[in-house]
Amino acid sequence: MAPRPVDYLHDPRLNKGTGFTTAERDALGLHGLLPPRVVTQAGQQARILENLRVKNCPIEKYIYLASLLDRNEHLFYRVLMDHIEEMMPIVYTPTVGEACTRFAHIFRRSRGLYVTAEDRGRIAQVLRNWPDRDIGIIVVTDGERILGLGDLGANGMGIPIGKLSLYTACAGVAPEQCLPITIDVGTSRPEIRDDPFYLGLPQERLRGAAYDALLEEFVMAVQEVFPRAILQFEDFATENAIRLLARYRDRACCFNDDIQGTAAVALAGLFSAIRITGVPLTQQRILFLGAGSAATGIADLFVSAMEREGISREAARRQCWFVDSHGLVVKSRTDLQDHKLPYAHEHAPARDLLTAVESLQPTAILGVSAQPQTFTEPVVRAMSRINARPIIFPLSNPTSKAECTAEDAYRWSGGNAVFASGSPFAPVEFDGRTLVPGQGNNAYIFPGLGLGAIVAGARRITDSMFYAAARTLAGLVEASALASGLLYPRLSTIREVSAHIAVAVAEIAYAEGLATAPRPEDLEATVRARMYDGTYPTYV
């Protein structure tokens, strides 16, 4: 059935607002339904920015942009694409963390799909309620480990929504190919369950065999209903994240961004840091604060990278050390979870990070603990005594969970820290220099990887693809950026970065025999032609 005139104004995918031309208003029956003046998309952007910038509170900016997405999808993405450095901290970290904690209270309009513990036996039917079939990317969470904020239950839906907006803004994956899903199995936090405005199931979190059976049905239903979709697991608790990735990585086209995406962006940062420090990859010794899925994911990819340079897996693993909540992970401990065992080495126990730094003398410390201010002044100063250019990566999100700030790292290291963080920090003036901290944002990796996998029709997502993405990302950092402290390309170039990563990932898919789409003569041109750019469609 053809859209009615008002449908063009009420459907966010069709709506151009005051951007409908006179000819379109004549043809579509819109005269009188809009103010008479026709405004260009650029003019509409200017109005959006004026209204956005007078809001002083980040969460109010988030709500304003969400309302824009609900009424005019093309304009929303054009604003993001043209002002990505300003908008990313609003639509994703750090503001998305606050948006998730307040999700039920700021709820305006449903977006995405909710699959609940009560849907066992009919998940495929629920998925078929989604109006689009040509889905390229699904981001799914069960809300148990949202950023560094813990179990937020169904309030975690803000994460899949935010991630998918970055797939479109940063890599041009078409919005209609993106599907956010929350698997609502309850929440372990009574204060959320008792919130009268909470919109999820007000029950204790489902666990054990019933949880596994629900996830099994979900993954199989995705393959049935959306057979070409890439499934991205997001913000699952460590144990489930590791188990689910191991269970499904060879059975479905899936990956876990917290494990593999974080690993790739961290590895890219290390590749860039090596250009500054001069210490080769095979001589890097990394000490992680935190030993969850993100930390071991980074270590696994780091080990794989060193294997490519001729070092044995066991020798490479001995270059990676972990400090968890009970101290240094060593072989003599009897309380270690399975995912830590490959990195439990022979060494005397150490109860804290500083002791571990002093005894192990690492070249780099990476924070994935969600414990703020744990890269203390003594720790950073110790790293600076050991290394002329210490690598300091506080990667925890949101900003409130960062292990240290950029200013602290630069000041305590005498301006010598090679720094990257998970959340954004402003440039720092130190000793007559302006030091620009890089943000190790997964948005540098997952959008381009997803686009490349879609173009190639990849049947699986492999570690080789993440390695290629990391190498490509690091190779795009210019010498002038390194000189200012940046370890990643400027965020304003992220669509160009994503295009290069998409080509590299697609090449791996073809090389590994995992592509189902015919290889085009000009792969880069094909990738770029697939990139949605938010420009208004022409109706007449």
Domains belonging to the chain, first-starting first, are: 95-252 (3.40.50.10380), 260-427 (3.40.50.720), 444-529 (3.40.50.10380)
- Rounded Cα–Cα distance for residues 32 and 164 (Å): 35
For CA atoms 196, 198, 201, 204, the dihedral sign is negative
For the chain, report the end-to-end CA distance as a whole number of angstroms.
18
The three-class DSSP label of residue 264 is: helix
Three-state SS letters, 286-305: EEEECCCHHHHHHHHHHHHH
Contact by Cβ (8 Å): 96, 158: yes
Q: Two tokens at 63?
A: 């709500």
Which residues are annotated as catalytic? 92, 163
pLDDT of residue 2: 78
pLDDT of residue 148: 83
pLDDT of residue 538: 96
- Rounded Cα–Cα distance for residues 418 and 266 (Å): 13
The torsion angles phi and psi of 15, rounded to 5 degrees, stand at -70, 135
pLDDT of residue 180: 98
**What are the residues whose beta carbons fall under 8 Å from the beta carbon of 412, sequence distance 6 or more?**
377, 380, 381, 384
- Rounded Cα–Cα distance for residues 247 and 250 (Å): 7
Contact by Cβ (8 Å): 437, 413: no
pLDDT of residue 392: 98
**What are the residues whose beta carbons fall under 8 Å from the beta carbon of 243, sequence distance 6 or more?**
none
pTM for this model (two decimals): 0.94
Contact by Cβ (8 Å): 379, 366: no
Running along the chain, 540 residues long, what does each successive block of 10 average in pLDDT?
A: 88 97 96 96 98 97 98 98 96 93 96 97 98 97 93 98 98 98 98 97 97 98 98 95 96 96 96 96 96 93 94 96 96 94 96 96 96 97 98 92 96 97 92 92 96 98 97 96 93 96 98 97 97 96
Can you list the alpha helix ranges (DSSP code H) found in 287-435? 293-308, 313-317, 353-360, 377-386, 406-412
Which residues are bridge partners to 140 per DSSP?
181, 233
**What are the residues whose beta carbons fall under 8 Å from the beta carbon of 462, sequence distance 6 or more?**
508, 512, 514
Q: Residue 5's closest CA among 27, 36, 35?
A: 27
DSSP 8-state secondary structure symbol assigned to residue 260: I
Which residues are bridge partners to 212 per DSSP?
none
